[in-house]
Amino acid sequence: MRNAPDSIKVPSFVSISMQILPLWPISMALSQLARDLLRTHPQILNRIDKYQNQKFMLDITDLPFALLLDPAQARLRAFRRSAAPEADARISGTLAAFLAMLHGVEDGDSLYFSGVLQIEGDTSAVLALRNALDDAELDLSEEIARALPLLAPPLRLALAPLERLTGLHLRRVPLEVY
């Protein structure tokens, strides 16, 4: 079943509890994930091409922090919005929208046309990133399991119930879903 990504929000008890957590462990884990992901999918950087050095702010509106992606340095770090550095481009939307786009459930343009995703700054760079990630056919759950092997067994067990519970698309969708 497909959920409209604009109707799903991260539950507030989750985002509130995240507010009090320190961000550096998250940044470390995310950067580990980014490095691993770019290493195993070299075509991503090829497609981003001349926009590699741009900094992308992924502003996931229902999380208490925004993510700064620096493809050239293979870095993905979390920042409180009040302390977020300048970026060349900013993509804002719900976690559900980001995950649905990444996993091939939703079309990025459609999310943009309907206002679920907003874009500011270097539009070309955003397009390059979007197209590169779309071509990579990522499955975030698999990538996390590979990048952070300790998490793999519990993640595999929790995935299906977690998807049901949250309504988020945590895995790449097989085509039959459409």
Partner 1 sequence: MELVCPAGTPAALRAAVDAGAHCIYCGFADETNARNFPGLNFSRAELADAVGYAHARGAKVLVAINTFPTAGHEALWHSAVADAERAGADAVILADLGLLAYAAEHHPDLRRHLSVQAAAANPDAINFYASAFDVRRVVLPRVLSVEEIAAINREIDVETEVFVFGGLCVMAEGRCSLSSYATGRSPNMNGVCSPPEHVDYATDGAESVARLGGFTIHRTPKGEAAPYPTLCKGCFTSGDKTGHVFEDAVSLDASTLVPRLAKAGVTALKIEGRQRSRAYVAQIVRAFRAVTDALEAGRTPPELALARLSEGQAATTGAYAKTWR
* Counts for the chain of helices (H) and strands (E), in that order: 8, 5
Q: Is 24 in the site for partner 1 (CB under 8 A)?
A: no
Nearer residue to partner 1 within complex by CB, 2 or 39: 2
Q: Which is nearer to partner 1, 17 or 53 (CB)?
A: 53
β pairing state of 56-60 and 89-93:
parallel
**Which pair of tokens denotes residue 4?**
């409209």
130 sits near partner 1 (criterion: CB under 8 A): yes
For partner 1, the closer of residues 27 and 143 by Cβ is: 143
Contact positions with partner 1 (CB under 8 A) in 82-111? 101, 104-110
Among 135, 154, 162, 164, binds partner 1 (CB under 8 A): 135
Residue 175 contacts partner 1 per CB under 8 A: yes
d(Cα 61, Cα 46) in Å, to the nearest integer? 29
The token pair at 178 is 């459409």
Please, which residues have CB within 8 angstroms of residue 32's CB and are 6 or more apart in sequence? 147, 148
Task: Give yes or no for residue 113 binding partner 1 (CB under 8 A).
Answer: yes
